[in-house]
Amino acid sequence: MLLLLLGIIVLHVTVLVLLFVSTIVSQWLVNGGQTADLWQNCTSGTGAIFQCLTSSTNEWLQSVQAMMILSVIFSVL
């Protein structure tokens, strides 16, 4: 029984760490000179200068951003 409880605790801590990392991480998709994540899209210009724009304002993207922030808040509580 104690081993099962320890496994559940380890699983929850792992999920919490992955949730924080996926919300905070600066690059989800890297394609050549372009990087994209939940918050902004960046392209590298000449001389390795990055030009970053905020992500599009699609309804699905805003709902994902809101749900990730709410899940972090509720996980902390």
Contact 43, 32 (CB under 8 A): no
Contact 55, 39 (CB under 8 A): yes
pLDDT at 28: 65
Q: Report domain extents, the chain.
A: 28-58
pLDDT at 73: 80
pLDDT at 4: 93
How far is it, in rounded angstroms, from Cα 28 to Cα 8? 28
List per-residue pLDDT tens for the chain, 77 residues long: 999 999 999 988 888 888 877 777 756 666 777 777 767 777 777 666 777 777 666 666 677 777 877 877 877 77
* Full-model pTM: 0.49
pLDDT at 61: 67
Q: Of 50, 56, 20, 14, which Cα lies nearest the Cα of 35?
A: 50
Contact 34, 42 (CB under 8 A): yes
